[in-house]
Amino acid sequence: MLSEKSRPLITATLPLVGSRLGTITPNFYSRMLTAHPELLDGLFSRANQNNGEQQKALAGSIAGFASALVANPDIIPEQLLSRIAHKHTALGITEDQYDIVYKYLFEAIAEELADVITAEIADAWTEVYWLMANALIKIEKGLYALQANDKMWMPWTVIEKNPAGTDAMTFVLAPADDTPVTVARPGQFVSVKVALPDGLLQVRQYSLSADVESTTRRVFTTKKDDGGEVSPVLHNNVQVGDVLELSNPYGDVTLDGEGPVVFATAGIGCTPSASALRSLAATGTDREVMVLHAEKNLAAWALRDQMTNDVDAIDGAELQLWLEEPTEGFHKGFMSLAGLDIPANASMYVCGPLPFMKAIRNQAIDAGIPSTKIHYEVFGPDLWLAGAAS
Ligand SMILES: NC(=O)C1=CN([C@@H]2O[C@H](COP(=O)(O)OP(=O)(O)OC[C@H]3O[C@@H](n4cnc5c(N)ncnc54)[C@H](O)[C@@H]3O)[C@@H](O)[C@H]2O)C=CC1
């Protein structure tokens, strides 16, 4: 919990620190990556460094955590930390790296706030940092302990590479060694390590799109982002027979509980819901299932066959489709929940572009679905969650 000594200091300086985070975090990353260039090789995303998303995400997390602590000094904001911990473990973050972050973050704070900072203010923010870091370290240790092995990276052989819709590709992989494989949960993702043409190793998270329970297959589907650094390499360069390094599965937006379930997805955001749907169909679920999906056109829908087959296989399951390009038999334009008969006790899983998720979450809340039952995950640095928690 935040000490009584620090609380008024954090309350008083939060607006100022919040307003300067935009300069503190680039200063921090620049110091840290200059001193530890190895962290950019296989840990931090070069694309997110270059476009500033990583800096904004760190700033958002710190501000969100500090705001929550000031409002409730005795309560650690679990949801915010859980989401971050799953991303950290998928990257193999270790306890000692929190010392490295502390050193360069506080050097950056000292420089950027030189006009206002006192020893007392620095101590108060140090307390906030270690409250957050120690809580994360504890959650992350627990997540690592749940895995079937204690390795970060395991070799997997690409055994299939299948085009999925017009822009995506499904990769099926089999273990390339005898490391015990963790059974994943529907909705989880794995990190995939890819060597770029310039030799730099980069890591991305991809949702498993099918067969999550399997210990002999990993299946993920990725859309090619022509402006991106990693997906074009996966699509163009990686071939059947190649070996990729994969992490254990992580992610806390998973299909749990009972009762009716609604999947509302758009574009390649259908992947985690498709794996959940696959699991429901495979286990002969008696849950009421509604699948809502939005795409530009029918051909773009990456997992069309898999999802329609699984909807057909589940008793009473319903599928509705929205297409931007008018197509007979389907809703036209962006998804709308208006007029849909969504059960009041439904759990909703929303995944797709951020504006889509915001629109659907708002509509669902207006329709009476409690926010606690609406599950979503922002892929990439988690700005929205950090903002929502503050
Ligand atoms: N596990 C996860 O959280 C995953 C998340 N994603 C995310 O899903 C997103 C999907 O990307 P794309 O397929 O390229 O999407 P896209 O840009 O092709 O859009 C797909 C559909 O989203 C809907 N949409 C777009 N903007 C909207 C708006 N302002 N309001 C309402 N609906 C809107 C439209 O129906 C559109 O056809 C990516 O941002 C990716 O980060 C993707 C895979 C997994």
Could you tell me the CA-to-CA distances from 35 to 19, 61, 101 in Å, in that order?
26, 23, 11
Inform me whether the pLDDT recorded for 285 exceeds 90: yes
Cα of 355 from ligand 1 centre, angstroms: 8
Which residue lies with its CA nearest to atom 24 of ligand 1? 356
CB of 10 within 8 A of CB of 167?
no
Confidence of residue 384 (pLDDT cuts 50, 70, 90): low
Between 378 and 68, whose confidence is greater?
A: 68
Identity of the residue numbered 377: E
Say which CATH number the domain at 124 has.
1.10.490.10
CA of 55 to the centre of ligand 1 (A): 23
Give the global pTM: 0.91
Regarding whether 176 and 115 lie in a shared domain, the answer is no
Tell me which residue has its CA closest to atom 1 in ligand 1. 207
Counting Cα atoms < 13 Å in the Cβ hemisphere of 213 gives 9
Q: Which atom of ligand 1 is nearest to the CA of 324?
A: 37
Give how far Cα 282 sits from Cα of 4, 54, 55, 354, Å. Answer: 53, 38, 41, 30
Please identify, by atom number, the ligand 1 atom nearest to the C-alpha of residue 295: 37
DSSP β-bridge partners for residue 73: none
Contacts of 355 (CB under 8 A, 6+ apart): none
Are 305 and 280 members of one domain? Answer: yes
Q: Tell me the pLDDT tens digit for each residue of 4-58.
A: 999 999 999 999 988 888 899 899 999 999 999 988 888 888 888 888 888 877 8
Candidate of 349, 356, 384 to mutate for ligand 1, largest count of ligand atoms within 8 Å of Cβ = 356
Beta carbons within 8 Å of 173's beta carbon, 6+ residues apart:
156, 157, 158, 159, 217, 218, 219, 244, 246
| Residue at 254 is within a domain | no
Same structural domain, 269 and 229: no
Residues 200 and 222 in one domain: yes
- Could you give the residue numbers annotated as active site? 98, 140
Alpha carbon of 144 to ligand 1 centroid (Å): 30
Cβ atoms 211, 217 nearer than 8 A: yes
38 and 92 in one domain?
A: yes
| Judgement on whether residues 137 and 160 belong to the same structural domain of the protein | no
User: If you take atom 27 of ligand 1, which residue's CA is the nearest one?
Assistant: 356
* Structure tokens belonging to residue 61: 């997390």
Residue 388 is predicted with a pLDDT of 45
Number of domains composing the chain: 3
| Ligand 1 surroundings by CB, under 6 angstroms | 207, 223, 266-269, 271-272, 294-296, 322, 324, 334, 351-353, 355-356, 359, 377, 379-380
User: Residue 390: pLDDT above 80?
Assistant: no
Last residue of a domain, one of 81, 113, 145: 145
- The CA distance from 248 to 146, in Å, is 10
ipTM, two decimals, is 0.91
**Residues near 223 by beta carbon (within 8 Å), at least 6 away in sequence:** 167, 168, 231, 267, 268, 302
Give yes or no: residues 214 and 345 share one domain: no
Residue range(s) defining the domain that contains residue 302:
261-389
Whether the per-residue pLDDT at 341 is higher than 80: the answer is yes
Centroid of ligand 1 to alpha carbon of 336 (angstroms): 15
pLDDT band at 389 (very low <50, low <70, confident <90, very high): very low
pLDDT at 352 over 90: yes
Among 254, 268, 273, 336, name the best residue to mutate to test ligand 1's pocket (greatest count of ligand atoms within 8 A of Cβ): 268
Query: Residues 117-139: pLDDT tens digits?
Result: 999 999 999 999 999 999 999 99
Closest ligand 1 atom to the C-alpha of 333? Answer: 35
Choosing from 292, 360, 361, 379 the residue with most ligand 1 atoms within 8 A of its CB, the one to mutate for a pocket test is: 379
CA distances to 16, 17, 60, 70 from 73, rounded to whole Å, are 20, 18, 19, 5
Percent of the chain with pLDDT strictly greater than 90: 78
- The Å distance, Cα 354 to ligand 1 centre, comes to 7
d(CA 106, CA 101): 8
Closest alpha carbon to 127 in 4, 288, 229 = 4
Burial 63-101 (b: 16+ CB within 10 A, else e): bbbbbbbbeebeebbeebbebbbbbbbbbbbeeebbeeb
